[in-house]
Structure 1
């Protein structure tokens, strides 16, 4: 028995029941198949540990097992003794026979009888032999590489499909794991890179990892519309990382490829308004983005109407700012922030009573920042 139950548990034959129990618990936790992705190797080792513990934990079974071990050791020792003291000429089953003695019909020839003949040298390999050998090795290498590429592609596609299934079931971490496996077998797998980037960006908020995956997907596509979408996503990650110049450049590239992307227009407008303080450019981008949304029949987001109104306010175009703010209030009359912004517009126009009324409404609607303005400007 080269591997008995004591060896499996890693304890001596004199181990106490407590030591056996502690060893079993440690190995059960260490070798549990669920911790190793359901590996059949760890499953077999886990089963062996369980069988060893059931035997050694029961005193009666342990005593019987120890007796079996002692008998096996005695048999092994007896066999070794018989092997050591057997007769040299005795035939032992399982041991090969010694080679027969060489057959001689006469004594070896003396030096006077010997004569030598020069053997001409022969080239072992000709040029043709080298070419054939090289061709064979090259063909074999090409075949191996082709098989590996095929298997990697099949494995990557299988993992990607499993990732899509987990994605549809909202099992985000499982989906990321499958997409990562697909990319491991096929680093240029564009769809897997894009899907993993979306999960890293929108679920894990790991914008650096998402940006790396978007850049990898960009290297694998030449279609303008698809490149525009990837550049837009990459720019969103760069904004979160504070890479404003790169974000603005990628958004401009995305719009150059596909000018109908309303999201890219609005995102670049945000960058120009809040980060670069380029108010005319921000107004232009917000206007283009809102126009494209209305063309396709989508509702206008009040957030970007508010942003455009703020850009007009910064440009001192108070009439346009007021118009955008009023459109927001038509959609959401209880927007305290817009009441506050309308108060700022009225304040710039010198209409103190209207400004105070807007500040008062903003406070009633829960916009706490308006309270300070009301206290400073209203009696």
Structure 2
């Protein structure tokens, strides 16, 4: 069904006057596709409706124009209601037993004056002059209008940002990361300093889009806003992940440390700092202390520790010469992931360090069989 040309912009788009900005945009996109002239062989009716939809969205899609249009629409509605009430009103004195009375005839005491009796006098026009008080009032009036428009725009931006953020959270929760990123991006278009939207978009850039630089920029912007300590600690931990991905281990260690200063229960930061200290900074003793702290916290909270951190702990124990504990840790990893070729390779290196060549070659063979090609040179050395 085509909308009538007499409809207002809300009726053209088929939305309620209280509709959110996202609903207006969605309705516009659907109607543009529906009424596009190319789909109807250049039919003039659909071309007119296509233009009407574009004009309606041009007003309702802009927060400031929409606020002005809503005000004008309300005034027009009130005027129409007043006109209707005036047409329905009839003075009781003009009806006698339901029959309208004729209008009274004007009372004349003499014939109208002739042209020779009429005198016309030209009234001189006076120039309007503004004094200082008038200019001040005018400027105050203009400033009031500007401030009111700014207040309306800020309010509408906040409403639109909140609506998009909620939609983004719902998409994030159901695993629709592409839609979640789009909603977070729209949120930050209306409120560039919205810390929680910056945090969520940064997480999507880091974990889904693998764009560590963009994620780091979003996390840094979020940290410039006032945040609860736990939220700030989580963002600092994510920022450390970005620095690690960008090859900045010292900066990553500092971010993890800052996160733990705000929240000492953040086990993920302990584990990540331990891994960075071992593999990037070559500090096995400090790394082992961090890994033990993170694993202990996860045990207390009954949260499983990712197996690769147990593997890293085995490497730290090997570096410190505690071969028995390292071997026990590697076998614990194999219980969780028996087909991990890297763990077999690490067991082979451990056996080589303890001068057990037969066991080392067997572990290298298993690692290569499981697809871990880095173990192939070591296996070839056994032959």
Return the TM-score normalized by structure 2: 0.63
Rounded Cα–Cα distance in structure 1 between residues aligned with 2:264 and 2:135: 61
Match of 1:226 among 227, 231, 241: 231
Larger RCO: 1 or 2 (CA < 8 Å, sep 6+) = 2
Q: How far apart are residue 348 of structure 1 and its match?
A: 1.8
Rounded Cα–Cα distance in structure 2 between residues aligned with 1:38 and 1:137: 39
Rounded Cα–Cα distance in structure 2 between residues aligned with 1:144 and 1:332: 62
Q: Which runs of 5+ in 2 are unaligned?
A: 1-24, 47-125
In the TM superposition, what are the counterparts of 1:190-229 in structure 2 within 5 Å?
A: 190-229=195-234
Residue number in structure 1 paired with 2:79: none
Is 2:364 aligned against 1:372? no
Match of 1:292 among 292, 297, 318: 297
In the TM superposition, what are the counterparts of 1:70-219 in structure 2 within 5 Å?
A: 124-126=130-132, 128-219=133-224
Q: How far apart are residue 229 of structure 1 and its match?
A: 0.5
Q: Secondary structure at the match of 1:297?
A: coil
Rounded Cα–Cα distance in structure 2 between residues aligned with 1:41 and 1:219: 42
Is 2:318 aligned against 1:326? no
Q: 1:328 to 1:162 in 2, by over 3 A?
A: closer
Q: 1:232 to 1:140 in 2, by over 3 A?
A: same
Rounded Cα–Cα distance in structure 1 between residues aligned with 2:158 and 2:236: 26
Bigger CA radius of gyration: 1
In the TM superposition, what are the counterparts of 1:223-262 in structure 2 within 5 Å?
A: 223-262=228-267
Residue number in structure 2 paired with 1:50: 42
Q: Deviations over 1:220-270 (max 9, x none)?
A: 233110000011112212221223232221111001111111111111122
Rounded Cα–Cα distance in structure 1 between residues aligned with 2:171 and 2:338: 41
Q: Is the 8 A contact 2:334 2:340 kept in 1?
A: yes
Rounded Cα–Cα distance in structure 2 between residues aligned with 1:42 and 1:209: 37
Q: Is the 8 A contact 2:37 2:43 kept in 1?
A: no
| Aligned residue pair count | 281
Rounded Cα–Cα distance in structure 2 between residues aligned with 1:41 and 1:370: 58
Rounded Cα–Cα distance in structure 1 between residues aligned with 2:297 and 2:304: 11
Rounded Cα–Cα distance in structure 2 between residues aligned with 1:354 and 1:191: 52
Match of 1:276 among 269, 277, 281: 281
Rounded Cα–Cα distance in structure 2 between residues aligned with 1:204 and 1:366: 27
Rounded Cα–Cα distance in structure 1 between residues aligned with 2:149 and 2:289: 57
Residue number in structure 2 paired with 1:107: none
Q: How far apart are residue 301 of structure 1 and its match?
A: 2.7
Q: Which runs of 5+ in 1 are unaligned?
A: 1-32, 55-118
Residue number in structure 2 paired with 1:337: 342
Instruction: Give me the CA root mean square deviation.
Output: 3.4
Q: 1:146 to 1:324 in 2, by over 3 A?
A: same
